[in-house]
Chain A
Amino acid sequence: MAPTLVNAAFGALLGAALLGAAFDRRSVAVVVAAAVLPDLDAVASLAVPGATNALLHAVWLPLTAGVVLYWDTRLRDASRLRERAGWRGVRVAWVALAAFLVAGVGPDLFGSEGVNLLYPLGDAYYLVSGGFLFSTEDGIVQTFVSFGAEGSGVLPLETLGTTDSYAIPTFINPDGRPGLSLGAERELHLVRTGWQLVVVAAAASLLAIRFGRAGRESRAESTGDSAEVSR
């Protein structure tokens, strides 16, 4: 999996971009937690063979959550979530779902280790890798999606193997296979490459700016006139 710190950074960026009026420390914490959540399937891999990047990275859980959320907030006459948590709760729930998919699963799917997207219904680790460019010699060249390629998966993407043949080493599970390997050397990657360091730095700076701004605004409101506050 992409380093969890990178998932968290993308979650923070998405939260800052999408939370709008619901932006505060608590809601950002919820969104970042949702972005980190998929990586917990590495814990399950200690018992379930090949659960890393499969169990919580598959599309079914977020798909179900999305359908339930849509049904509750849009189709039902009275939304339970809105009654209990208000407009803010609905907004945070949608952004957390987006963070789970885009920031939690996305970097792994487009990164180095791949995601078992359809697990457990289909068993293949998919990876989006390739290039998309225009060359004056060769015209448009696109190698991300290849139809009719050899592989174990049903999606037209590069496949890395199945839960039997492909194991992802993590800090929690250094050999990627069931069972505790207590003596093994463990490595927890914070950033694997330069661009991930860039994303983490950008997310940290952006959050600092946003929280600083929110702090100034709340101070201004508490000292400002009441008309300004009620607006």
Chain B
Amino acid sequence: MVSSVVHAGFALLLAAGLLGEYYDRRALAVVLAIVVIPEADSVLGFVMPGAHRTVGHNLVLPAAAAALLYYDTRLRERSALRERLADRWIAVAWVGLFVHVFAHVPLDWVHLEGVNVFWPLRDRFYVLDGEVLLSTADGVVQTFVDLRVDPETGSRTVDAGGGGTTETVHVNNPVEPRDPDEVTDEPVERIFPVANAGWRLYLVGTGLFALAARRLQDRAPREDGA
């Protein structure tokens, strides 16, 4: 996994922009919990091969959760959630979903063997890798999704970075530091990364910066507001 610290950093930046009047320590704590909990699928790896980056790292379950949340809080006559939770926690739940979909799943999507995006509907790991550029020689170039048309048969192939399935892919993590199918005598080295590239350190730093700046701002006197 990209370290949870990196996810948390980017999540803090997004949450600070979305929470609005509900921004406080308790709301941030809930958002951070939502960031960390999906990593529990690395423990599931003991009972289900390839569970890490699959069970907690897809876009199908968040979409289902969003649909349920929308149905319950907006469409139903009597919302089961609204009866139990204040408006603020429903707002925090939406922010948590946003953070999961934009700060957790996609940052793992670009890392190592990627994530199992459409699990449980479809079992295949995808890696998001490429670039988009405008070139005076070639026009718009994007290499994230590779579209190829076979000149002989006319059949189209789409390569969006698809890889193996839960059967074949194991994403190393501190709980299972190497593929269980691999047999070696080397001592086990568990690596707990904090930030393994400059941009990951930058995401951590930017999140902390937003947090610190919000604290400084709140000390400013309110009465001189316009």
- Seen from chain A, the residues whose Cβ lies within 8 Å of a Cβ on chain B are 10, 13-14, 16-18, 20-21, 82, 86-88, 91, 98, 102, 106-107, 109-111, 127-138, 144, 171, 185-195, 197-199, 201-202, 205-206, 209-210, 213
Q: Determine the distance from Cα of A82 to Cα of B127 in the docked complex, in whole angstroms.
A: 50
Q: Residue B199 contacts which of A20, A110, A187 (CB distance < 8 angstroms)?
A: A110
Contacts A20-B217, A87-B224, A193-B110 given: A107-B132 contact, CB under 8 Å? no
Q: Determine the distance from Cα of A91 to Cα of B128 in the docked complex, in whole angstroms.
A: 37
For B116-141 the 0/1 string (1 means CB < 8 A from A) is: 00000000000111111111110000
Q: Determine the distance from Cα of A130 to Cα of B200 in the docked complex, in whole angstroms.
A: 10
Q: Residue B195 contacts which of A17, A132, A136, A206 (CB distance < 8 angstroms)?
A: A132
Closest chain A residue to B190, Cβ basis: A136
By a CB distance below 8 angstroms, the chain B residues around A205 are 98, 102
Number of interface residues of B (CB under 8 A): 52
Task: Pick from A17, A128, A131, A209 the residue with the most CB of B within 10 Å.
Answer: A17
Further pairs besides A137-B187, A194-B144: 4, Cβ < 8 Å: A18-B16, A134-B193, A144-B195, A202-B10
A110:B226 contact, CB within 8 angstroms: no
Give 6 A-B contacts (CB < 8 Å), ordered by A residue. Answer: A13-B14, A106-B202, A106-B206, A137-B189, A144-B198, A190-B133
Q: Determine the distance from Cα of A190 to Cα of B73 in the docked complex, in whole angstroms.
A: 38
A131:B103 contact, CB within 8 angstroms: no
A206:B194 contact, CB within 8 angstroms: no
Q: Determine the distance from Cα of A209 to Cα of B99 in the docked complex, in whole angstroms.
A: 13
Q: Residue B102 contacts which of A185, A192, A201 (CB distance < 8 angstroms)?
A: A201
A197:B217 contact, CB within 8 angstroms: no
* B148 close to A (CB within 8 Å): no
Q: Determine the distance from Cα of A98 to Cα of B13 in the docked complex, in whole angstroms.
A: 13
By a CB distance below 8 angstroms, the chain B residues around A128 are 198, 201-202
Closest chain A residue to B225, Cβ basis: A87
By a CB distance below 8 angstroms, the chain B residues around A109 are 198, 202
A197:B199 contact, CB within 8 angstroms: no
Q: Determine the distance from Cα of A194 to Cα of B106 in the docked complex, in whole angstroms.
A: 9
By a CB distance below 8 angstroms, the chain A residues around B213 are 17-18, 98
For B203-218 the 0/1 string (1 means CB < 8 A from A) is: 0011001100110010
- Seen from chain B, the residues whose Cβ lies within 8 Å of a Cβ on chain A are 3, 10, 13-14, 16-18, 20, 98, 102-103, 106-107, 109-110, 127-137, 144, 187-199, 201-202, 205-206, 209-210, 213-214, 217, 224-226
B131:A192 contact, CB within 8 angstroms: yes
Q: Determine the distance from Cα of A201 to Cα of B226 in the docked complex, in whole angstroms.
A: 33
Contacts A197-B128, A206-B14, A206-B17 given: A110-B202 contact, CB under 8 Å? yes
A135:B110 contact, CB within 8 angstroms: no
Q: Determine the distance from Cα of A16 to Cα of B135 in the docked complex, in whole angstroms.
A: 32
By a CB distance below 8 angstroms, the chain B residues around A192 are 131
B226:A87 contact, CB within 8 angstroms: yes
Closest chain B residue to A106, Cβ basis: B202
The 8 lowest CB-CB distance pairs between A and B, nearest first, are: A194-B110, A16-B17, A17-B16, A110-B202, A110-B198, A202-B102, A194-B128, A198-B106
B191:A135 contact, CB within 8 angstroms: yes
A195:B110 contact, CB within 8 angstroms: yes
B131:A130 contact, CB within 8 angstroms: no
By a CB distance below 8 angstroms, the chain A residues around B13 are 13-14, 17
Q: Determine the distance from Cα of A107 to Cα of B193 in the docked complex, in whole angstroms.
A: 21
B23 to A: closest C-beta gap in Å: 9
By a CB distance below 8 angstroms, the chain A residues around B102 are 198, 201-202, 205-206
A186:B192 contact, CB within 8 angstroms: no
Q: Residue A82 contacts which of B14, B128, B144, B224 (CB distance < 8 angstroms)?
A: B224
B128:A185 contact, CB within 8 angstroms: no
By a CB distance below 8 angstroms, the chain A residues around B16 are 16-18
B192:A14 contact, CB within 8 angstroms: no
A217 to B: closest C-beta gap in Å: 10
B18:A132 contact, CB within 8 angstroms: no
Q: Determine the distance from Cα of A205 to Cα of B97 in the docked complex, in whole angstroms.
A: 13
Contacts A18-B16, A210-B18 given: A132-B194 contact, CB under 8 Å? yes
